[in-house]
């Protein structure tokens, strides 16, 4: 089974801190994604990557950056954490083919609280 | 703005009955369609994928796709209390991005 591992299940950080969320997948998937999920707003795409060193902005990239130095690892960085970034953060990976997609495998999520 | 629409529910279904979950999408060029199940406090889990018109069955689950009507559905036969969860419809658009609906909460009544 594909495994997507997020480094922390729960995190509490202070306003203004730089926060790193790590995600590692073990099945050689080329695509990796970061979402946040909030009640009533659903899943919102922050950033995604289709290859090493490559990154694309999603729907809500402001206040975030990402790094993908190795194929298996995709990091989300909150440059200066704010209370409105309190959320559940979900990492996902996937395989795709020409004109199709196998669907995402999600990590277990990181519930981040910014105080 | 590409959209995936679901009724938020809750949808209450007696144990043993068929639960029917529906989803519509706006991008006519969409090619891949998915259903995810999400238990409270957990991450989404892929349960069905469908790529061509018609029905696809996997155990108690059947996914149905009608591209002409831009409609996807999920049927759960012999509903069990363990099926109580939020079900997310997801659609891959022509730009290879997956768009999620906000989910339908399903409650199976014992």
CA distance to A47, A55, A76, A77, per residue, from A61 (Å): 6, 11, 10, 11
- Is the pLDDT at A100 greater than 70? The verdict is no
Alpha-carbon distance B93 to B27, whole Å? 6
Residue B94 pLDDT:
77
Digit-coded pLDDT (tens) for B16-54? 999 999 999 999 988 899 999 999 999 999 999 999 999
Are A82 and A14 contacting, i.e. CB atoms less than 8 angstroms apart? no
- Is the pLDDT at A99 greater than 90? The verdict is no
Any CB–CB contact under 8 A between B91 and chain A?
no
CB contact under 8 A, B100 and A107: no
Confidence grade of residue B2 (pLDDT, cut at 50, 70, 90): confident
Between the CA atoms of B34, B37, B41 and B42, what dihedral angle is there, to the nearest 10 degrees?
A: -70
Average pLDDT over residues B7-20: 95
pLDDT: which is higher, A98 or A49 = A49
- Is the pLDDT at A108 greater than 80? The verdict is yes
Which of B98, B100, B83 minimizes the C-alpha distance to B10?
A: B83
Digit-coded pLDDT (tens) for A60-90? 999 999 999 999 999 999 999 999 999 999 9
Between the CA atoms of B105, A87, A67 and A1, what dihedral angle is there, to the nearest 10 degrees?
A: -40
Three-state DSSP at A85 gives helix
Q: A-B interface: how many C-beta pairs under 8 angstroms?
A: 46
By residue count, chain B amounts to 110
- Is the pLDDT at A44 greater than 90? The verdict is yes
CA distance to B21, B57, B110, per residue, from A34 (Å): 26, 30, 37
Are A83 and A92 contacting, i.e. CB atoms less than 8 angstroms apart? no
Residue B1 pLDDT:
73
Q: Which residue has the tokens 């989300």?
A: A76
Residue A40 pLDDT:
87
Any CB–CB contact under 8 A between B63 and chain A?
no
Give which of B6, B43, B87 to mutate to test A binding, by max A Cβ within 10 Å. B43
Which of A99, A107, A113, A97 minimizes the C-alpha distance to A33?
A: A107
Other C-beta atoms within 10 Å of A19: how many? 20
CB contact under 8 A, A42 and B32: no
Any CB–CB contact under 8 A between A54 and chain B?
no
Q: What tokens appear for B56 in the block?
A: 């696809």
pLDDT: which is higher, B27 or A100 = B27
């Amino acid at each position: 089974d594909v495994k997507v591992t997020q480094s922390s299940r729960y995190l509490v950080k202070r306003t203004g801190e730089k926060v790193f969320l790590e995600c590692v997948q073990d099945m050689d998937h080329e695509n990796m994604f970061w979402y946040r999920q909030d009640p009533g707003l659903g899943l919102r795409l922050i950033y995604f990557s289709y290859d090493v060193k490559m990154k694309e902005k999603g729907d809500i990239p402001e206040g975030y950056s990402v790094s993908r130095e190795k194929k298996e690892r995709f990091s989300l960085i909150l440059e200066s954490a704010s209370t409105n970034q309190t959320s559940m953060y979900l990492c996902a990976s996937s395989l795709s083919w020409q004109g199709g997609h196998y669907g995402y495998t999600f990590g277990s999520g990181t519930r981040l609280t910014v105080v | 703005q590409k959209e995936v629409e679901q009724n938020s529910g809750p949808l209450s279904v007696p144990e043993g009955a068929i639960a029917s979950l529906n989803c519509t999408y706006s991008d006519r060029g969409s090619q891949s369609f998915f259903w995810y199940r999400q238990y409270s406090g957990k991450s989404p889990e892929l349960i069905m994928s469908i790529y061509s018109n018609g029905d696809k069955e996997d155990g108690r689950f059947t996914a149905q796709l009608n591209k002409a009507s831009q409609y996807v559905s999920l049927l759960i036969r012999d509903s069990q209390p363990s099926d109580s969860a939020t079900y997310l419809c997801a659609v891959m658009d022509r730009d290879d991005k997956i768009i999620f609906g906000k989910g339908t909460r399903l409650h199976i009544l014992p």
